[in-house]
Structure 1
Amino acid sequence: MKYKYIIPIIASSLMILSSCDDNLMEWEKDPEHGVVTGAELPLELVEKISRYEPLKTYTNFVLGNGIGADLYMSDPAYRKLVNENFDEVTPGYAMKHGAMVNAKGEINFKTIDDFIAATKAAGLKVFGHTLVWHSNQNASYLNSIIAPTVIPGSSGTNILDVAGLKAGTFANWARNNPGKGISIVANAGLTSTSQAIQLASSATSAQPYSLQLTAPNTTIVAGHNYEISFYIKSDVAGKGRLSFGSTLTNQYPYKDWYNTGGSWVEAFATSSQWQQVKIKLAPGDFKAGSTNFQFNLDLGYLPNVTYLIDVNTIAVVDLDAAPTVVNMLANGKFDGNITGWSKYNGATDALSLAAAANAYEGSGAMKVVNAVTDTGNQWKTQIHSDFTAPLTAGTQYTVSYMIRSEAPGSVRCSTTGGTAQYQGDTATSTTWKLVEWKITASGTEAGLNFDLGGVAGTYYIDNVVVTTGAATGGPTAPITIDKTAAEKTTIIGNAMQDWISKMMTHYKTSVFAWDVVNEPMKEDGTLRNGTEGETATDHFSWAKYLGKDYAVTAFKLARQYGNTTDKLFINDYNLESRLDKCDGLIEYVKYIESKGGTVDGIGTQMHISLTTDRDKMVQMFQKLAATGKLIKISELDIRLGTNAPTVAQQASQAEMYQYVIDMYKKHIPAAQQYGITIWGVSDSVKEHEFWLPDESPNLWDANYVRKHAYKGTADGLAGKDVSKDFSGELVKK
């Protein structure tokens, strides 16, 4: 049955007609009715919208859509809308550093490879989003590579006589062949306050023994294994070995150095970076009846090399000596298991074993994940272990552990049994930290807890000791070495090159347009410099370490490793509301190009609302057009402040979508119009869990029904009211 100018019959309490134009009438929402959907718009408007062609039909420039790669791959209805209506897709998260880079800096391409294959089969292009940003980074990895180096102490109590070294007298040490000189230098060791042995080879040095320092005799126990270790570096590439006295069966045991071609080599190499040298002597290495041994540091292979050996790290350890520390916990090393530890409180997956890569030392660590920040209830994520025996009343114990977290965090220890004792909250970071807590036992303590509920995050714990007196018990304490600003710049620069080069190379034949730099500006139009808040776990400021030229480097790398014809964009938000920010971005583009980078286009995101200043919007387009660059509306959506908009709000949203597109086409010359990307598909909660929750900013409603905004967008793209060309009567379906 055909009808003309149909108005649906609806209870009068739900509808107030304020205009003869059915597109502008207001529809009040019954409090018990819920969200107004596209299906409930006036019938004539619904009929009109249903007869529109797919959006991409109405424009010649690129019409894009910012989408969730997972939704596209898993939701057929969602995928169908994207395929039918758009030319290009931008994966909203899955192509970013945080999504693709793991804790080792390795890139997992599979998700995006599968996504590109699926979109390509549907005839869609993919826009690369985004190479360099301060958010959505694997900040844990990036911070870890510039974190201070924490060097574990020796494996046990040092039995080597180093008193003469620390005194600077070399008492009991022999400088047999001093070369240019062997001396003790203050503040030259691993830390700024530690001593170092300085050994300089002569201009004619050629034999290992041409520069030789001999250690004192060390008493040994028959049948025991021993370890010699120290940290060494040199001003230029160097070479050294250890040789031994007559109590060893082989005075030159080529063992424990680098294995080249399947055989042990004689010497270790040195460089300008501190490195550990370690050699183990087994009982079979000693002659029968030996009661001591002596070793030589032989560094005379090469001429004109100056070596430094940190005095605090040169040690000989009896690996089979009785422990000097009695740990009241059965398992504090976590080498391959977390036996003895259990989750008292927290999520199901709160406690697990971390592999060696995330251990302080050894083959494992305890990993604890706390999902929710609750500063007043640290116990809500709580990991426990029983003591091997009750603590002795009146005795002081030291609780000692190493801890780090993937982002700034907080830890507190507590005891169980009797009256609990509580450690003060202790800050954690991405760097391993030695924490000690001293308690005087009441005799009722039954176990130890790690309370990690204060700050959400992932924590790694290793080397947990509860003992009387000093927890270290003889082994040398760990040493922390900060990297210099120059070292951090080099490391982060290399990380950027690794990331961009691999992304551009891998997608060279499938992605031809990229957001190279995202959101570089502060609201006042100045450049972000890394001093902004970094509380988010995925926040990392490239500019903090690489300076103003970080974007110059990024654009040069993208061009170097991509195609010469790739379109490379810089992208930012609020340019329509902060014209000073727009001006700042334009000036930064000029700066990038003055330094040799090439920026093809500028993206303006335009996450706007109905109240966004239209005059400023026009001025933004005019300013961007004046750059001569390609201009892209990169992330357009229009929020309404509710997930239950009235019909009038939907009509206003449609009009605003049309206005934005009209102004883009009016003020951006056709040759500079890269295109428009609509950010998101629908108002479904699946799309708005993190972005604009409880909102309705998109062109389809929560049920994938076209909204009034669909018509406004299509009319804007077409440059006219498309529905006026419809012929015949509207048909009720």
Structure 2
Amino acid sequence: MKQIKAISVFLLCSLLFPSCEREIMEWEERPEEQKVTTAELPLELAEKIERYEPLKTYADYVLGAGIGMDLYMNDEVYRNIVNENFDEVTVGYAMKHGAMVNSQGEINFAPVDAFIAMTNEAGIDVYGHTLVWHANQNASYLNSLIAPTVIPGSSGSNALDITGLQDGSFTGWARNNPGDGITVVDGEGLGDNAKAIQLVAGSGAANAWDLQLASPQVPVVSGNDYEVSFYIRSDQPGKGRVSFSGLANNYPWQDWYATGGEYTEAFETTSQWQEVKFTVSDFTGTSFGMSLDLGYLPGVTYYIDVDSFSVVDLDAEAEVVNLIANGDFENGTLDGWGGWGNESTRSVSAAGEGYNSTYAMVLTNPTEAQLWEAQQVYTLNEPLEQGSEYTVSFYVKADVPATIQFQLQNPDYAADYSGGIEVGTNWQQVVRTVTATTADRNKFVFDFGQTAATIHIDDVVLTSGEVAAGSPPVIVEMSDQEKAEVIGAAMEDWITKMVTRYTSEVTAWDVVNEPMREGGSLRDGNVTDPASDDFYWVKYLGKDYAVTAFKLARENAEPSDVLFINDYNLEASMAKLDGLIEYVNYIESQGATVDGIGTQMHVSLNTSRENIVEMFQKLAATGKIIKVSELDVRLGTASPTAAQLADQAAMYQFIFDSYREYIPAAQRYGITIWGVSDHEKEHEFWLPNESPNLWDANYQRKHAYKGVADGLAGRDVSEDFTGDLDY
């Protein structure tokens, strides 16, 4: 559905209705003194319109209004018009996934609960809009569920020589007990085409040492702590340990996964990658060796990611002097940093969101501008040395692909620039060199105004020495099957909780919204430039996403609740209408039931009346309950002429008359008019500079009010009026 409130994606009708731009009239802005209002209608007509009863008086089916929830709750005039004239309301935005689901997947029911309490008091029903749509989703949350696992790389140099593993030669390594084979294989490690050590336990394996790979000696500094880590998985549940040479305790029991759990001799493995990480320090000499002992269980195949296998000296001397004192943000503050520009914001991340650390700096730029129009600045204790080359390094990621740069700046804003830096959505390390061209460079500046994005930055280093780049992070993508399982669970959670929460108050739902392309094929979610709140369930769940949605809704709804599929432009494209009907047939062939079909009908004066008739005829032939779900009639201007107002009334009446004529009574659910008035508060995001509704900007009845009332009644109601009219 095209929402009344809080959607910035579909402001232009060319985006909303890609197949019917020809129907949209040219904008017409008239001088203020020439604008026509309802008060300027012929007096006899205006007085007739005022004598009509509230609209729902004339209806023998559900008459609904698409409304803004905040307007209904806070504007008494607006609310009274709705309560007096309509049986049912459809909230334009507030009951959608994007409005109700937070970043943790929790549903905030409170605003809708309060709204429904108010409609209950007024005796107005609420229509459920909408359960599964591709727009107005909390796409950030849903995408986070299927985001790649980012395994941080080592922050220090690897003291373990893994070159014999990387080239498959095992130089320096000893396959003491090879079991059924110890080899290096491509494509089985973390990330695309990454190498892994494959270790296969023989059928007779029973002891840890029955499958053993020993490392080269690792040089150490006495008294320092060394962190040993690697990632491992197995084709079936497995078990392993690490034994040593050169330690005081060569068979230590460990809390292998650093979870604060029980210390054991061995760790367990599954088909999922998991990290084994622990610290050793009880060296008896200047080096130590270790063995992977994986022979506990017979017939298990293990994979250890080659590049993740590391030994890092945690107490190594710092190699650089960082001129930015608060570059890792581990004190939980932005001490020393400040910024401005483009209404941007800056903060410290939530705990655990840093790069391989607790905290990161978070910079948010709300709108696209020039790079330098949003800045974050660190003022150095002393100016940099003229002519000296400095190395800058930091880790960075963004919620969308973004461009940033950094500067070395002086008090008068002259600067030495890094040039544009392209930032992706996974952590990456940036290492650049820049020369201070003058002796007064005393500020380090991030420029981030070019892209509307939220950017995380961590471990910022500015030094006159060299920065040793750590190993890059490893990106592990979910399989298509895993994504389908996760997204399917998210859909089930959302539908189940919404329908059960409002099972007594909401008796009809848009279960699936706008599934079709204009040509009549099913959307597949493969779009090049999705909006920030777009999420295509079909992309991950396939053609049966709607089957699942209808089954879930039916399982949780009352048996009498009416479940709809809904789409737009059905009066403009018979191919799209035919495709939707075909998809409904498919859904039902898979065991789900679709009770009704909704046709939105965002139309104009130029919309083909023949097409409208054909649409209703085809919809009636399905035998389904039919609803006109979002009716409005555009005029292409906010200042219509009296003739345009009359034409608008005639189009409204034609649609109501056609609905009554071509949709059998048993199949009529009703008609919902999308919006109440032409007041600018209702049209900030939907059809701005327009006049599509039944009340004008001053909440006075328009000519269209009479057209709708006569269409509902099936006759010219004003012919029944008796008595003299006052002119």
TM-score (norm: length of structure 1): 0.87
Amino acid at match of 1:183: T
Query: Which segment drifts farther, 504-513 or 680-689?
Result: 504-513
Give the secondary structure class of the aligned counterpart of 1:313. coil
1:515 aligns with 2:510: yes
Counterpart CA distance in 1 for 2:55 and 2:457 is 54
Counterpart for residue 414 of structure 1: 407
Select the residue among 389, 400, 404 that pairs with 2:393: 400
Distance 2:329 2:388 in 1: 27
The residue correspondences of 1:324-723 to structure 2 (distance < 5 A) are 324-335=319-330, 336-347=332-343, 349-356=344-351, 358-374=353-369, 377-387=370-380, 390-391=383-384, 396-417=389-410, 420-442=415-437, 444=439, 445-467=441-463, 471=467, 473=468, 475-723=470-718
Asked if 1 retains the 8 angstrom alpha-carbon contact of 2:258 and 2:278, the reply is no
Residue pairs, 1:1-20, within 5 angstroms: none
CA distance in 1, matches of 2:384, 2:616: 73
Residues 12-51 of structure 1 aligned to structure 2 (within 5 Å): 31-33=31-33, 35-51=35-51
Counterpart check, 1:273 vs 2:272: yes
| In structure 1, distance between residues paired with 2:216 and 2:503 | 62
Residue segments in structure 1 that go unaligned for 5+ positions in a row? 1-27
Aligned counterparts of 1:501 and 1:299: Cα–Cα separation in 2: 45
**C-alpha displacement at 1:220, in angstroms?**
3.9
**Alpha-carbon displacement from aligned partner over 1:341-362 (angstroms, at most 9, x marks no partner):** 2214221x52222213543332
CA separation of 1:236 and 1:392: change in aligned 2, threshold 3 A = farther
Amino acid at match of 1:339: D
Q: Partner of 2:297 in structure 1?
A: 302
Q: TM-score, normalised by structure 2?
A: 0.88
Structure 2 CA distance for aligned equivalents of residues 241 and 446 of structure 1: 52
Distance 1:303-1:121 versus aligned 2 partners, 3 A rule = farther
Q: Is the 8 A contact 1:231 1:309 kept in 2?
A: yes
State how far apart, in whole Å, the 2-side matches of 1:392 and 1:306 are.
57
Contact residue 242 and residue 290 of structure 2 kept, 8 A:
yes
Matched residue, 1:143: 143
Pair 1:547–1:202, CA change in 2 (3 A): same
AA matched with 2:458: D
Deviations 1:229-286 (A, max 9, x none): 11111112223334445734584333253758x64555433222222222234x6xx3
- 2:478 and 2:704 mapped to 1: Cα distance? 54
For 1:727, the equivalent position in structure 2 comes to 722
Change (3 A) 1:240 1:75: farther
Amino acid at match of 1:130: T
Contact 2:678/2:693 (<8 A) preserved: yes
Offset of residue 35 of structure 1:
4.8
Among candidates 312, 315, 321, match of residue 317 of structure 1:
312
Amino acid at match of 2:625: L
One-letter amino acid matched to 2:544 = D
State how far apart, in whole Å, the 2-side matches of 1:243 and 1:34 are: 91
Query: 2: CA distance between counterparts of 1:508 and 1:325?
Result: 63
Amino acid at match of 2:227: E
1:224 maps to amino acid: N
Partner of 2:14: none
Q: Does the 8 A contact of 1:492 with 1:546 survive in 2?
A: yes
Measure the CA separation in 1 of the matches of 2:264 and 2:81: 65
Residue matched to 2:13:
none
How far does residue 568 in structure 1 lie from its aligned partner after superposition? 1.6
Measure the CA separation in 2 of the matches of 1:593 and 1:583. Answer: 16
Decide whether aligned partners of structure 1 residues 357 and 137 sit closer, same or farther in structure 2, where only a CA change above 3 A counts.
farther
**Which residue matches 1:21?**
none
> By how many angstroms is 1:388 displaced?
5.8
> 1:558-580 CA distances to partner (integer Å, 9 max, x unpaired)?
22343443322111111111122
Provide structure 2 residue ranges, at least 5 long, that are not aligned to the other structure.
1-27
Partners of 1:258 and 1:265 within 8 A in 2: no
Q: Which residue of 1 aligns with 2:22?
A: none
Question: In structure 1, how many angstroms separate the alpha carbons of the residues matched to 2:466 and 2:150?
Answer: 20
What residue is the counterpart of 2:205 in the other structure? 205
1:212-236 deviations in Å (ceiling 9; x for gaps):
3343444444543332211111112
Quote the RMSD (CA, aligned, Å): 2.9
Deviation at 1:172, TM superposition (A): 4.3
Give the superposition deviation at 1:693.
Answer: 0.7
Counterpart for residue 87 of structure 2:
87
Give CA-to-partner distance per residue, 1:604-655, whole Å, 9 cap, x none: 1011111211111111111111111111101011111111222332222222
**AA aligned opposite 2:329:** F
Counterpart CA distance in 2 for 1:430 and 1:513 is: 39
For the Cα contact (< 8 Å) 1:608–1:636, is it kept in 2? yes
The one-letter code sitting in structure 2 at the alignment partner of 1:141 is Y
Quickly say closer, same or farther: Cα 1:184–1:672, change in 2 above 3 A. Answer: same
Cα contact 2:416–2:435 (8 A) shared by 1: no
Task: State the alpha-carbon separation in 1 of the partners of residues 506 and 251 from structure 2.
Answer: 61
Query: Within 2, Cα distance between the matches of 1:406 and 1:34?
Result: 49
Q: Distance in 1 between matches of 2:399 and 2:559?
A: 38
Partner SS state of residue 227, structure 2: strand
State whether residues 330 and 388 of structure 1, in contact with CA within 8 Å, keep that contact through their aligned partners in structure 2: no
C-alpha distance in 2 between matches for 1:325 and 1:412: 22
- Write out aligned runs for 1:275-290 (5 A): 275-281=274-280, 286=282
Counterpart AA for 1:656:
M
Task: Look up the equivalent residue of 1:276 and give its one-letter code.
Answer: E
Task: Name the amino acid aligned to 1:165.
Answer: L
DSSP 3-state at the match of 1:132 = coil
**Aligned length in residues:** 696
